[in-house]
Amino acid sequence: MLFPSNNTPRWVIFFIDTFICIFSIVLAYLLRFNFSIPENLTYLLTINLLYLNLALIISVRIISFLFARTYAGIIRYTSSKDATRIFIVVSLGSLFFVISNLISYFFVSEFIIPFSIVIIDYMTTVFLMITFRVLVKMVYFEIKNPSRDKRNIIIYGAGDAGIIAKRTLDRDAGAKYKVLAFIDDNKTKANKKLEGVAIYESSKLVDLVSKYDVAHLIISIQNLPSVRKKEIVDTCLAYKTKVLNVPPVSTWINGSLSFKQIKKVRIEDLLGREPIKLDEEKINKQISGKVILVTGAAGSIGSEIVRQIAPYKPKKIIMLDQAESALYDLEIELGEKYPKSLFEPVIGNIRVNERMENVFRSFRPELVYHAAAYKHVPMMENNPSEAIFTNVLGTKTIADLSVKYLVKNFVMVSTDKAVNPSNVMGASKRIAEMYIQALNNKADVTSFVTTRFGNVLGSNGSVIPLFKKQIEKGGPITITHPDITRYFMTIPEACQLVLEAGAIGNGGEILIFDMGKSIKIVELAKKMIKLSGLELGKDIQITYTGLRPGEKLYEELLNNKENTIATHHPQIMKAHVAEYDFETISIRINELIGLFENQNNVAIVSKMKEIVPEFISNNSVFSELDKPKATA
């Protein structure tokens, strides 16, 4: 079959376009002579001229339509590209008439077609051909999905991005949704219209979502402050309106936005703070042209550190990790944006001195970001020997080799769980901090800086991915305690501050990041449920499982004996901590590591408590070690 049975045959569209052209030229003549063509005109103005010109114009139009295939589009899906094609084709045809007139006048001093008729015919043809297609499209969609059945959408932002979002909706999802209104913080835009849609000031948002059944609110503004975004989301969730985000322009496919790219607002978008201002000059000076080693490079923090240092044009980035598949995935990802020669993926275990020695000897790194560590509290509570072997011995190995091979700067990623540790993982990181700080006083070349921050949103094993999986499965969402709170920071934020801390640190400091306010985990879960369009107690439940071994209700960034000193960066503080003698701490750590061979967990944890007196186990089998010993 020549034409698809479910669409209007192309020859029908072709004949309709031809009829429009005939109508346009006849109308042009009638308008030219005020609907009364005199019978006493000379030959060039007689009725015969109409027939000759009609034949010429229709012939040119038919040829141009066949050549440009203006009739080939599916009318009910007419787009701006179809309208542009019609405009160009008709314009070229009319230009041909103009040129023909000029040539005729040059040779015989007479026009073939009066210019007034050319202009009237041109304007009428373009208007009617485009209007016909638009009307068919409107009627088709109205019949298929009447306006009363379409769901309302509000677009937040009446700028360029807002217009693009509306046009994307009209193009990709016009059958299901209609734009009810634009909302904008700029009051000068209020009470105006944008593409036929009213613009309201932001104070009218509550009125709109409460009065109308608004399915979605689309945030089109890219740099909307986090505080304002939270306010908008909270308002919409109260009225069961889902909130969507227009993605950054850099992610649009071929520079064009599609409806499927407009995604739900993520919980990470609401917990992030205002953009962090970095000292780009200092960071660039520290990184540019240098060989950099990143341990734990395949992990959440390590991989983001690699992504963030790559634009500063280091000489080479050594990506060290023992996770083969994750490291391979990172290499492929980075290879799509940067020269492959910039990265050197290395499989290795930081606990194996011989392997690490070979890495330092072969690549001679000048800067080390040490992110490799075991971090899961319950796992380490059950496996203390592994915690000390990786978090203590592994850190000691990398640090000692950094001194031996004259690394200039060493930046260690630590955790708020190292403060007044209540679990094995936190205590192991605190011991690593103590060693790093003591080693800094002994090293001649290498400057050691420790960075300490809280939970990172979206990192492997964090509550956000866990809650997402539980919501997708229909629940329940499991929380250990209704009062448990945590500090949160996004992965990019954390890594930006790691780079900044490394650049501003002088050596020996423990730098603490401003984590903002602590957040109740149960409130976080409730907001994620609402963002998913579910209702707590009806669609999904929250259950409490009890604190896990070693888990605290509240995390701290400083212990009772520590205080902070301001740095030049408002989001980074320097912890004023006690210093330790290198020889003493080295002996104690070597004794601790020596206990690995016997695999006696009680002995290992006892030694850890000796090294870190503030380590008091919580909800753990090792709590017995904290009880005063009975005296004879």
By annotation, the residues acting in catalysis are 417
* Collapsed DSSP state (helix, strand, coil) of residue 92: helix
CA 363 to chain centre: 34
Query: How many CB atoms lie under 10 A from the CB of residue 456?
Result: 24
CA 354 to chain centre: 40
Which strand (E) or helix (H) includes residue 182? strand 177-184
The structure tokens listed for 279 are 């000292």
CB 318 within 8 A of CB 341: no
Number of Cα atoms under 13 Å in the Cβ half of residue 440 = 21
The structure tokens listed for 520 are 């109740």
CB 156 within 8 A of CB 171: no
Please give the Cα distance from 478 to 233 (Å, whole number).
24
Please give the Cα distance from 539 to 531 (Å, whole number).
13
CA 515 to chain centre: 21
Cβ partners under 8 Å of residue 327, min gap 6? 297, 298, 319, 321, 345, 347
Please give the Cα distance from 391 to 149 (Å, whole number).
60
Sign of the Cα torsion 97, 101, 102, 106 reads positive
* Collapsed DSSP state (helix, strand, coil) of residue 205: helix
Please give the Cα distance from 520 to 553 (Å, whole number).
10
CB 70 within 8 A of CB 78: no
